[in-house]
């Protein structure tokens, strides 16, 4: 038995005619690759899908808890708990303060080290007398 090729058109086209309308064919010819890429649907990244799913789950939990905890809230959406935001990577106020303190400490240490090096380079005898206490 011979298999017949499958076609999507039920009516055969006459010999000289195309099955594609002229407007579609001209659009195909005039489009360049950049236009085609720009009009193509964009799929979100895996990270974006994960974040969207987590946010949806948080909203669902908040909506479920909203009936029980309406006191003192302006909207029906509850604030996320600290455990819910643990997956986020970012800067905290405590980390910013610690980084600022380290930067200041390093700056002061650099200035002191610079003064000591200059003292040793410019006057090694005087620097040695300061270290040994003989003066």
State pLDDT tens for residues 87-102: 566 667 788 888 899 9
pLDDT value at residue 6: 54
Q: Please check whether residue 38 is in contact with residue 32, taking contact to mean a CB–CB distance below 8 angstroms.
A: no
Please, what is the angle between helix 93-122 and helix 124-132, to 10°? 110
**pLDDT top residue among 30 and 7:** 30
Enumerate residues 6+ apart whose C-beta is below 8 A from 119: 126, 127, 130
pTM of the model as a whole: 0.32
Dihedral of the alpha carbons of 11, 16, 21, 26, in degrees to the nearest 10: 160
The yes-or-no verdict on residue 4 having pLDDT over 80 is no
pLDDT value at residue 128: 83
pLDDT value at residue 91: 67
Confidence of residue 44 (pLDDT cuts 50, 70, 90): confident
């Amino acid at each position: 038995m011979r298999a017949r090729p499958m076609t999507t058109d039920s009516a055969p086209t006459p010999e000289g005619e195309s099955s594609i309308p002229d407007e579609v064919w001209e659009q195909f010819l005039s489009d360049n690759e950049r236009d085609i890429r720009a009009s193509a649907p964009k799929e979100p990244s895996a990270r974006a899908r994960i974040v969207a799913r987590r946010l949806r789950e948080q909203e669902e939990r908040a909506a479920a808890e909203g009936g029980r905890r309406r006191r003192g809230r302006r909207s029906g959406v509850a604030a996320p708990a600290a455990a819910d935001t643990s997956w986020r990577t970012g800067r905290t106020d405590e980390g910013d303060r610690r980084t600022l303190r380290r930067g200041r400490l390093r700056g002061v240490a650099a200035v002191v080290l610079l003064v000591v090096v200059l003292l040793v380079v410019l006057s090694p005898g005087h620097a040695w007398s300061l270290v040994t206490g003989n003066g």
